[in-house]
Amino acid sequence: MTGIPNVNKALFFYYALTLLPLAGFALYDRRHHRIRNAALLAFLPWCLLYLPLAVCTCPWMAFAEALLHCIMGFLSGFLLLLSVSLATNGGIGGGDIKLVALLGIPFGASGLMAALALSCLFALAHLGIRNAFQRIPAGNIPFAPYLFFGCMAVTLLRLVP
């Protein structure tokens, strides 16, 4: 590639600001073991803001390509967690499924899969450490805090060229 690289950081700041409501979801899920539908509905316009922002900041990205990015991210997150929930007989809650589907809109399928993989690794590491010291059975754990850390790691990795 020749020329001057794009120095626009608007998408990075969008992803960083996306972590704020995600932190709220994580705290609420940790305390109450649920994610409210009203909060997810309020989060939807923020996620949909990615579409015009991506088209404006990346002139090479056509609207159809950005829309496909959002749809594929939404569907991959929703279908993956829904199938895991069905396979584990409700092992993942509906709020987590809807939250991951919404996060698929800005992160896309590849970014969301990376965030989910890191989230699962963080959850396994935390449970392993907790079981080594406390010997308490895992039971139900809130997934939104681990999802927050996974999305934060993916956002920080986007800084690395």
| Separation in Å, CA 17 to CA 21, 77, 136 | 8, 20, 35
Q: Give me the tens of pLDDT residue by residue for the chain, a chain 161 residues long.
A: 444 445 568 888 999 999 999 999 999 999 999 999 999 999 999 999 999 998 888 777 788 899 999 999 999 999 999 999 999 988 899 999 999 999 999 999 999 999 999 999 999 999 888 888 887 776 788 999 999 999 999 999 988 87
Backbone angles phi, psi at 34, to 5 degrees: -160, 160
pTM: 0.90
CB burial of 41-58 (b: ≥16 within 10 Å; e: otherwise) equals: eebeebbeebbebbbeee
| Separation in Å, CA 137 to CA 46, 80, 134 | 37, 26, 9
**Domain ranges, ordered by start, for the chain:** 10-157
